[in-house]
Amino acid sequence: MCQLLRRLADLSTLPKSTDTIIFQKSSQDTTHLEHYWDYFNSDEWFLARGFTIRTGYDGQKEYVILPRTQGPGYIPRIYFTHRQHNWDLKEGDDPESPEGKEWGYFHEVGNIRFYFDDEPTPRIDMPVTEFFRGDVWPFMAPLVRHYGTGNGGDVSYIPIPFSRSVVVATTGRPQHLQIEVVKFNQDPGNLDSFNIPLNPSEAQELNRVIDLWNDRGEHPYYPRGDLVSLKRDLTIPPFSSTEIALSGPGVITSLELYLASGMDENVSMKIFWDGEGNPSVEGPIRSLFGTAEEMRRYRSLPLGIVWNGERNEFYNYFPMPFNSQARILFENGRGDATDVRVEILYHPAPFKERIARFHATFKRERLRARRDDSGNYILADLHGSGRYVGCILTMYDFQRGDFDPNWNLPFLESDLNIWVDGVYALPGTGIEGDFNAGYYYIYTQEPNRQWIFALSGNSWKRMWTRHRDDAASQYRFYLTDSIEFRDSLRVEVEHGSKGNNSTVTYSSTAFWYQDEPG
């Protein structure tokens, strides 16, 4: 448990192989061409999608959302969303009540129960409105949030380890659901099943995660005494380039760029590791730190763009190991000179015969509407071995055509689906769900609400008018749920509400580590 919590506050182990497999149980529907059926509308739908209903230890009906799963392993993330508080109301619903506006009527799901190691009674058995409230120890915000605090999503990143086995059930029928499971290929040793209360070491680690996630933008590493700081002020001539080189072996843990407002336009960055001829990191500056198409400031744990009062600060805290050299190249496609301040933190590291090199690649594609569900957007198509750690995904320039003018952002009905080593491992349930929110980012830009979080968020939401198109940009990063692949990894994103029936432009940046010869 301590090691899992530490990974949520210290990114240093992110490049390392975890020797795990990951899969996700979800409410995804595969029987309809329409994508908006990714929820359980009835018990019959729940059963038809391979889930089971049983009688619990106390005689209550239980909806088994995770069947008995052999350990050792852990649950890194649980996601629900239930009903939209102000749409398709049932008799007695009050959209302005706390049950509606704050919870999306989530109380209907009853209790959530975790059975460990074939024990007859659950160690965790509590109302979902307590589990996801965010102030019930150890299920604390900001690792846990709900409809009103999570932009429509009920999410928990509290790691739930299990030694021999685990079963998860609810006493009411859920609607939208994702539950991730990571299993160790070999016994990691000293992995006890989740228990309350946490021991003092676990509590200390959890409090550190809470503090760091509440103070996003801080260097997410444990302190060390051998950090080297490099600061350079660069002036890049028009239509020219300049570079910075570091000698290794070492690990970059912070790369920060400072540019005056507007000066990031038509400026790109490439990073070459260890004398390689092709860059491992490549794209326009904004695309490698956030939304490519517009300046959208935000703070996440590993990446962000913030205004410091004088300039935009772009930060990347992903660990970036290298053996002999790190070469960072800046290209200026502008007709005037561009000033960039670069600040880097790195530390020495042993030479590695095989090294996990950091990669980030930007792409953009105009997608055309079609009547079927083929022609998905390929966000990542990776080969070899490594770890996938996240993406930024933007949709814009939507051609409305025959879509109802009152239907904003219909392309958010699409799913983001992930295949690992040829296995369909993580089926999505709608873009907002795949990025930990709900109902077209229900509370983005609403006063006193949040839509930017440590590992996911909605950095841009633009509703359709006669003078502008719909647009959405979102990010999600994977820490305890980083996706290990041994042969291949493929991330596909649909583009429509019925099949791929939207003409729209997608752009994305994928982030991963690739295992390569040193």
pLDDT along the chain (518 residues), means of 10: 96 96 96 91 96 97 98 98 95 96 98 98 98 98 98 98 98 98 93 96 97 95 95 96 96 97 94 97 97 95 94 97 98 95 97 97 97 96 98 95 88 97 97 97 96 98 84 98 98 96 97 95
pLDDT score at 465: 77
Q: What is the predicted pLDDT for the residue at 36?
A: 87
Instruction: Kindly state the tokens that stand for 266.
Output: 């038509």
DSSP 308: -
Is residue 490 within 8 Å of residue 368, measured between CB atoms? no
* Res 468: pLDDT: 80
Cβ atoms of 379 and 287 within 8 Å: the answer is: no
pLDDT digits (tens, 9 = 90+) for 71-124: 999 999 999 999 999 999 999 999 999 999 999 999 999 999 999 999 999 999
pLDDT for 33? 92
- pLDDT at residue 501, as a whole number: 95
For 277, counting Cβ atoms within 10 Å of its Cβ (0-12 exposed, 13-18 middle, 19+ buried), the class is: exposed
In this prediction, residue 402 carries a pLDDT of: 84
Per-residue confidence (pLDDT) for residue 475, from 0 to 100: 98
DSSP secondary structure of 322-381:
ESSEEEEEEEE-SSS-EEEEEEEEEEE----SEEEEEEEEEEEEEEPP-SSS---EEEEE
pLDDT at 276: 96
What is the strand order of the sheet 124-127 is part of?
Answer: 52-55, 61-70, 165-170, 111-116, 124-127
| pLDDT attached to residue 190 | 87
262 conformational bin, left if phi > 0, alpha if psi -120 to 50, beta if neither: left
Structure tokens at 377: 């957007």
CA distance 264 to 286: 7
Which pLDDT score, from 0 to 100, does residue 341 have? 97
pLDDT of residue 344: 98
What distance in Å separates the CA atoms of residue 51 and residue 164, rounded to the nearest whole number?
21
